[in-house]
């Protein structure tokens, strides 16, 4: 029952709905006590040959009125209890979504998407059932059951009531034991469902790779194994779940047997009337649901408790990147100054960046190049505050990025990652993602700067074309250029292109870079690239190696130095000529 204490914050929030729902439930329970009493009196009246039309009509009218009132009241308590439970589910999903949005990249490197999806679906649903069905069964199993038992004892026979309650301790022991087993097995089943979710998401996202390598059968076998594990663990839950009803029905059957056997003897002896025994057995019938409800209560509570523990563990994950006290909510502008003494990724003992220092005037273009793993993407992530920099500082306009809010910082920076992500929406909506409500003219201008306008116009629906999940219906170059258009539409102070031109050809790259120089005058641009032609016009070029600056300067200066940059540029130019083939 610990979960009801854990959810006390929500019950306090919805107190009047739950109070009204519980009071109506009690009212229904009280009204349901009347029909057996009326029927018992009618039986006794029949036995005395005292039944007349007025008494029969009065009894039938009373029964019909009670049925109609109970019907209306049940509608109301369902709306109160289940409506509140649905609001709890919405709040938990909102909390999870907001928490997901605030967690750092480190968290997503250590947790699986399938597990997070399971938290927002199955786990939330189990907690919702606890806040709805759990409260219902709690009231019915305790208060309604107590009312029925009290009425049986006070108005009919307390001795017979004690007799029929003799099997109850066995039911309490059995359901408690079942509940402990159910808690452990349901937690294991939810974890298995998380694994299944993760496998499905991974295979669907990587379906092209699976097909390209002909691994359909291998992945199918792996999926079948995981699916079988989910089935096995849910069957283990079902085995325990299946014990509740038969156990309770057995106890109820024994109670009925005792009621009829002992009650019949007392009727023959004259210490109990036939109408009294009839009413008693009807009350005993009403006691079946509270007894079943007790079993459902244990079942529902243990499921909800296991799920709420998983949700709380996730919500308890610390938000590592947050606004510092006194941070200004003003988008920073001005020169960029980077002074990174040392940066180490959490969980690593190797520096990803060391001694990175440079000054970039506002409106200048910076090129960052180097071998894979040299630290190019890490530098951009630090500018976005995807990770906090403990040894060093990054300043825009003389103000540390730690001294402005995350919202203000990211309003000043437009970012195009190495692997562009597109949503399952229209092309226009994808481009306008960073500036909702942008007009069609602005969207097309941004697309033209990214050299993708003509491609889009060739689609049957143009800018209204729906792209598949993650832009699966588009080519790699089209996805990259649409992502660039999305960033350009923001017209941000700083534009970060993280190898964002790798999927386009040399001519397209040249057109995009020319458009950037023409349209981003006075705003800073930072380009990381493996193809050095993407940065040769930059005002400053940094060559990174193992997280250190090995070379720095303009294209001409670096070519004159004859180092890695000059060698790589010459080789790439030669490769480009070979790919173009002989002219004429």
Give me the phi and psi of 29, to 5 degrees please: -60, -40
User: Most confidently modeled of 201-215, 501-515, 544-558?
Assistant: 544-558
DSSP β-bridge partners for residue 24:
none
Q: How many CA atoms lie within 13 A of 107 on its CB side?
A: 19
Quick one: CA torsion of 204, 205, 206, 211, rounded to 10 degrees?
Answer: 40
Residues 6+ apart with CB under 8 A from 138: 4, 297
Give every strand in the sheet of 365-370, ordered side by side: 413-416, 494-498, 524-529, 365-370, 540-545, 548-553
**2-315 classified as CATH 2.30.42.10:** no
Which of these ranges, 29-38, 324-333, 441-450, 459-468, has the smallest mean pLDDT?
Answer: 29-38
Q: What is the mean pLDDT of residues 33-61?
A: 72
The whole-number pLDDT of residue 44 equals 64
- Positions of CATH 3.40.50.300 in the chain: 336-553
The whole-number pLDDT of residue 584 equals 43
* pLDDT band at residue 278 using 50, 70 and 90 as cut-offs: confident
User: Most confidently modeled of 156-160, 285-289, 315-319, 355-359?
Assistant: 355-359
In this predicted model, which residue has the larger pLDDT, 158 or 11?
Answer: 11
SS (H, E, C) 84-107: HHHHHHHHHHHHHHHHHHHCCHHH
In this predicted model, which residue has the larger pLDDT, 58 or 376?
Answer: 376
* pLDDT band at residue 4 using 50, 70 and 90 as cut-offs: confident
For 336-553, which CATH superfamily applies? P-loop containing nucleotide triphosphate hydrolases (3.40.50.300)
* pLDDT band at residue 197 using 50, 70 and 90 as cut-offs: confident
User: Most confidently modeled of 188-192, 265-269, 566-570?
Assistant: 566-570
Tokens of 489: 């539409």
Q: For the segment 284-307, what is each residue's pLDDT rounded down to a tens digit?
A: 777 777 776 676 777 788 888 888
pLDDT, averaged across the chain: 85
Tokens of 109: 């490197």
* pLDDT band at residue 394 using 50, 70 and 90 as cut-offs: very high
Residues 6+ apart with CB under 8 A from 160: 152, 259, 262, 263, 266, 272, 280
User: Kind of pairing, strands 413-416 and 548-553?
Assistant: unpaired
DSSP β-bridge partners for residue 370:
544
User: Kind of pairing, strands 413-416 and 399-400?
Assistant: unpaired
Residue 49 has pLDDT above 80, yes or no: no
* pLDDT band at residue 537 using 50, 70 and 90 as cut-offs: very high
- Positions of CATH 1.20.1560.10 in the chain: 2-315
Q: What is the mean pLDDT of residues 234-241?
A: 86
């Amino acid at each position: 029952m610990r979960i009801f204490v854990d959810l006390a914050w929500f019950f306090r929030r919805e107190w009047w709905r739950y109070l009204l729902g519980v009071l109506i439930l009690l009212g229904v329970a009280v009204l349901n006590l009347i029909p057996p009493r009326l029927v018992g009196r009618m039986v006794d009246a029949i036995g005395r040959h005292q039944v007349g039309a007025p008494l029969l009509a009065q009894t039938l009218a009373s029964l019909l009125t009670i049925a109609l009132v109970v019907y209306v009241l049940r509608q109301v308590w369902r709306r109160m209890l289940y409506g509140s439970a649905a609001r709890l589910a919405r709040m938990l999903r909102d909390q999870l979504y907001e928490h997901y949005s605030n967690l750092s990249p480190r968290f997503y490197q250590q947790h699986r998407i399938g597990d997070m999806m399971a938290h927002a679906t199955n786990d939330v649903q189990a907690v919702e059932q606890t806040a709805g069905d759990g409260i219902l069964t709690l009231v019915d199993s305790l208060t309604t059951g107590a009312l029925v038992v009290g009425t049986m004892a006070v108005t009919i026979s307390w001795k017979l009531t004690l007799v029929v309650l003799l099997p109850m301790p066995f039911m309490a022991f059995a359901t408690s034991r079942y509940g402990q087993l159910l808690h452990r097995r349901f937690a294991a089943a939810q974890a298995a469902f998380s694994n299944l979710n993760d496998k499905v998401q991974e295979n669907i996202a990587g379906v092209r790779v699976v097909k390209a390598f002909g691994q359909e059968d291998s992945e199918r076998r792996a999926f079948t194994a995981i699916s079988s594990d989910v089935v096995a663990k849910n069957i283990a839950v079902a085995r325990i779940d299946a014990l509740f009803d038969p156990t309770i029905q057995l106890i109820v059957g024994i109670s009925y047997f005792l009621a009829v056997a002992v009650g019949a003897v007392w009727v023959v002896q004259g210490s109990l009337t036939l109408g009294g025994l009839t009413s008693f057995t009807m009350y005993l019938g009403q006691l079946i649901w509270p007894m079943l409800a007790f079993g459902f209560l244990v079942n529902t509570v243990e499921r909800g408790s296991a799920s709420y523990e998983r949700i709380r563990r996730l919500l308890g994950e610390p938000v590592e990147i947050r606004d510092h006290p006194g941070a200004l909510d003003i988008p920073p502008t001005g020169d960029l100054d980077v002074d990174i003494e040392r940066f180490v990724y959490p969980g690593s003992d190797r520096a990803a960046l060391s001694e990175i220092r440079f000054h970039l005037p506002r409106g200048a273009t910076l090129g960052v190049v180097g071998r894979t793993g040299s630290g190019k993407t890490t530098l951009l992530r630090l500018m976005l505050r995807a990770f906090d920099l403990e040894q060093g500082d990054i300043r825009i306009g003389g103000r540390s990025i730690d001294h402005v809010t995350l919202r203000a910082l990211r309003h000043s920076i437009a970012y195009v990652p190495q692997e562009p992500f597109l949503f399952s929406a229209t092309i226009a909506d994808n481009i306008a993602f960073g500036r909702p409500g942008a007009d069609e003219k602005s969207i097309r201008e941004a697309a033209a700067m990214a050299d993708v306008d003509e491609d889009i116009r060739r689609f049957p629906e143009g800018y209204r074309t729906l792209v598949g999940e993650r832009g699966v219906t588009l080519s790699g170059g089209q996805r990259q250029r649409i992502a660039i258009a999305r960033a350009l539409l923001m017209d941000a102070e700083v534009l970060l292109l993280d190898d964002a031109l790798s999927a386009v050809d040399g001519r397209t790259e040249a057109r995009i870079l020319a458009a950037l120089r023409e349209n981003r005058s006075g705003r800073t641009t930072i380009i990381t690239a493996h193809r050095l032609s993407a940065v040769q016009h930059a005002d400053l070029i940094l060559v990174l190696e193992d997280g250190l600056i090995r070379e720095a300067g303009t294209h001409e200066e670096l070519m004159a130095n004859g180092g890695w940059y000059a060698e790589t540029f010459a080789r790439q130019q030669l490769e480009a000529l070979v790919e173009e083939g002989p002219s004429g």
